[in-house]
Amino acid sequence: MPVDETLATYSDWLYRSALGVYLFAVLLYAVEQAFARAPRKAMAGAGGPDILTDAPKSELTRTERIGRMGAAMTVLGAVLHLGSLVMRGLSAGRAPWGNMYEYMSLLCLAAVVTWIVLMAKFPIRRLGAFVLTPILVLLFLGGTVLYAESAPVQPALRSYWLVIHVSVISISSGMLLIPGVTSILYLLKDTNSDRFPKLPSADVLDRMSYRTTVLAFPLFTAGIILGAIWAEAAWGRFWGWDPKETVAFVSWVVYAAYLHARATAGWRGRGAAWINIAGFALNVFNLFFINLVTSGLHSYAGL
């Protein structure tokens, strides 16, 4: 199927627009974080508490309104980001995650959507600059160093398993980026809360990290299992200790250890956070070093 160059161009424009909108959102979040007062408990009053902040709607300050603008820009960026993926898929007539550029885009979109959902559940909007900055870095690298023109995928990837396995593993990996960042912030808050008075409480950061990992871990597990089934169909074996398979399995063990540690009284808190950060580091290592440096059966970066 020939590539629709017009749709491919629209996809690139939407990707760059999303990147610019996310950058603007980070600046707005940074302003709120810099000038807002330390968090306080929601107060009872007219209009009820605002789900995206810790103050009632009727008492929003100018700084908090800037933070709300940052949240709105994040949602707009996610819509543009989704549009870029849809246009890329339509231009090539396939699932839009057949190379590293597209895989990175889907992973980052999953991370952004996860962050939007968490903002609606926890009073954590001020963390937006910390959370979106690494996502911005990944998107910038994806749109420059890892960029690939819209084109048909390699013959080895022309399978319905591309739609199933790669989407599940990419979305779960994107979701797991968020608890990695919040676990780092948890350690900062828990080490010296007086130095970081504007961060949410350590308890909020801990619960947010745990709940996100609990949701992402089954998806990550399913992605590994589906990959093994595809490997048996494509290569005649379920598991061959390919570099990407090996690091994915080690990551799975680490996240399983985190969930176990989080449920164990003696390992809750700092110990569990360190394990989650180790999983985050393995996730990033697998994303870059294994995909781009090592050679193996999963070398489909498209570079």
How does 244-282 read in b/e, with b if 16+ C-beta sit within 10 Å? bbebbeebbebbebbbebbeeeebebeebbebbbbbbeb
pLDDT reading at 295 higher than 60: no
Cα(72)–Cα(75) distance, integer angstroms: 5
Structure tokens at 92: 């090539």
Q: Which residues contact 236 (CB under 8 A, 6 or more apart)?
A: none
Q: What is the pLDDT of residue 115?
A: 96
Cα(52)–Cα(49) distance, integer angstroms: 9
Q: Is the dihedral of CA 10, 16, 18, 20 positive or negative?
A: negative
pLDDT grade for 291, boundaries at 50, 70 and 90: low
Cα(99)–Cα(251) distance, integer angstroms: 22
Beta-bridge partners for 275: none
Q: Where are the domains of the chain?
A: 1-153, 154-303
Tens digit of pLDDT for each residue in 31-85? 998 887 766 554 434 333 333 444 455 567 888 899 999 999 999 999 999 999 9
Cα(202)–Cα(208) distance, integer angstroms: 10
Q: What is the pLDDT of residue 161?
A: 78
Tens digit of pLDDT for each residue in 160-195? 878 888 899 999 999 999 999 999 999 998 887 778
Structure tokens at 115: 């962050």
Q: What is the pLDDT of residue 240?
A: 75
Cα(293)–Cα(215) distance, integer angstroms: 30
- Residue 22: phi, psi to the nearest 5? -60, -40
Structure tokens at 153: 């995928």
> How far, CA to CA in Å, does 35 sit from each of 41, 127, 237, 238, 249?
18, 13, 57, 54, 43
Cα(99)–Cα(151) distance, integer angstroms: 10
Q: How many CB atoms lie within 10 A of CB 220?
A: 24
Beta-bridge partners for 56: 49
Q: What is the pLDDT of residue 258?
A: 93
pLDDT reading at 86 higher than 80: yes
Rg (CA), the chain: 20
pTM confidence score: 0.87
**Contact call for residues 205 and 185 (beta carbons, < 8 A):** yes
Tens digit of pLDDT for each residue in 96-118? 988 889 999 999 999 999 999 99
